[in-house]
Amino acid sequence: MSISLARSERQELCELMSTLGPDAPTLCAGWTAFHLAAHLHLRESDPVAAAGIAVPALKPTAERRMAKLMAETDFDQLVAMVAQGPGRLNPMRVPAVDERANALEFFVHHEDLRRGGSFDVRPRVLGAETDDLLWDAAIKLATRRLRGVRVGVLLQRVRDGRPTDELAVVATGRAPVTVSGEPSELVLWLFGRERAAEVRFSGPVSGLAKLRARSLAV
């Protein structure tokens, strides 16, 4: 039976937010768990605020709406709203749409909260099906995010801490570089969480320099 990564990550993230409280730090600069909950709710309920995530001109509007929501809504209530999910008429209520739109969003933000504190937090041990989903997602994500990087890039899958012979060419070019990691760690790296993601880089110096110069911040 196929799992819903979006649904399971939403549930686990909301449980963790409730446990850690509104002031818990995250990997998102300047954001606490309270900011994260507000962001997730607005993303599903406010089209203008959601557009502000990707459209620079709308970013100030999105920030104002987030501040207003946080001022008017109790943290626990806000977490409950995120856990409940979007309204009945929202397309994200459709399971297939929810999975496409939210699986990586909730997975990455779950790790933002898990790893945002001052203590060393190890990657989670994920089930085989989840691991496969994230491996496929990492390949698709890398082909988009590394387009035009002008260096060859291969992703190498790591299982149980050991590199495997599973390789995916995600960018073509000279001085090819290999990025090795568990699928979950590769996804985090591709979302700009390099300081927290456990990945390894190998290849010629020129290729490594070009790849590291590429901003993956989201």
The Cα–Cα gap between 16 and 98 comes to 21
Name the nearest CA neighbour of 135 among 97, 96, 186.
186
Biggest CA pair distance of the chain: 53
The position carrying tokens 């691991």 is 131
Distance CA 42, CA 84 (A): 13
Please, what sign has the CA dihedral across residues 81, 84, 87, 91? positive
Q: What is the DSSP letter of 118?
A: S
List the chain domain ranges.
5-114, 128-213
Joined tokens for residue 43: 């993303």
Give the DSSP H/E element, type plus range, for residue 88: none
16 contacts 110 by C-beta, under 8 angstroms: yes
How much is the pLDDT for 109? 98
And the tokens for 157? 């899958």
Tens-of-pLDDT digits for all 218 residues of the chain? 367 999 999 999 999 999 999 999 999 999 999 999 999 999 999 888 888 888 888 889 999 999 999 999 999 999 999 999 988 888 888 999 999 999 999 999 999 999 999 888 999 999 999 999 999 999 999 999 999 898 999 999 999 999 999 999 999 998 899 999 999 999 999 999 999 999 999 999 999 999 988 888 77
Say which amino acid occupies 178: T
Cα–Cα distance, 6 to 109 (Å, whole number): 11
- Could you tell me where the DSSP H helices lie in the chain? 5-20, 33-45, 47-51, 59-72, 75-84, 95-114, 128-145, 183-190, 205-213
Residues in contact with 195: Cβ distance below 8 Å, sequence separation at least 6, in sequence order: 27
* CA atoms of 124 and 142, how far apart (whole Å): 22
Give the CATH fold of the 128-213 domain: Nonspecific Lipid-transfer Protein; Chain A (3.30.1050)
Q: Can you tell me the distance from the alpha carbon of 132 to that of 2, in angstroms, rounded to the nearest whole number?
A: 11
Neighbours of 187 (CB within 10 A): 24
Report pLDDT for 176.
94
